[in-house]
Amino acid sequence: MQMKSLAFGIALLTSVSVGPALAGAQAAPVKARTTLESRTTWPAGSVEAASILAWVKARSPGHAPITSGGDISIVRRQIEPQPLTRTSSGPTVELPVSGRQGEAITITTRQADGSIETWAHTGIDSGWMLVEYHFKRGFSPESMN
């Protein structure tokens, strides 16, 4: 009789101590998300550079590109990353029409004379919102235009 009660006591103790661990293992899964930051640069005068500046012009009211012809770099932070793709009609770069909350695209042009122009956009449900703009002509101090 003592052996049965000992076995019952061990089984009860095991279910009490292991039960919460098993219940925790069955809790709602944690939603993980992947964020990727990439940098791509295109040379001055390339078809890709022209299509990127067209994208900027369409999404940067009041801050259309002042300079052209410089090297262009894109820093893109994506959630559930999608690669930049070329359009089927040619070598232009297809940037996304809209972004997701937490995504960002920063585009910078660098001219041979030292001029730098930068646009930073953040993704919103209906597209992209310009959140930062900088322009520095030549080797002068930075200015907002």
How big is the CA angle at 43 (ends 87 and 103), to the nearest 5 degrees?
60
* The model's pTM: 0.67
> Which region among 22-26, 74-78, 96-100, 103-107 has the lowest average model confidence (pLDDT)?
22-26
The C-alpha atoms of residue 74 and residue 108 are separated, in whole angstroms, by: 7
13-22, 33-42, 106-115: the lowest-pLDDT one? 13-22
Q: What is the pLDDT of residue 74?
A: 94
- The residue that leads in pLDDT, 123 or 27, is 123
At residue 96 the predicted structure's pLDDT band, cuts being 50, 70 and 90, is confident
pLDDT value at residue 1: 46
**Nearest Cα to Cα of residue 57 among 128, 136, 142:** 128
* 99/88 Cα distance (integer angstroms): 21
CA distance 145 to 123: 23
Over pLDDT 90: what percentage of the chain?
A: 38
Q: What is the pLDDT of residues 1-27, one digit of tens each?
A: 444 444 444 444 444 444 444 455 566
Between 3-7, 22-26, 99-103, 133-137, the lowest mean confidence (pLDDT) is in 3-7
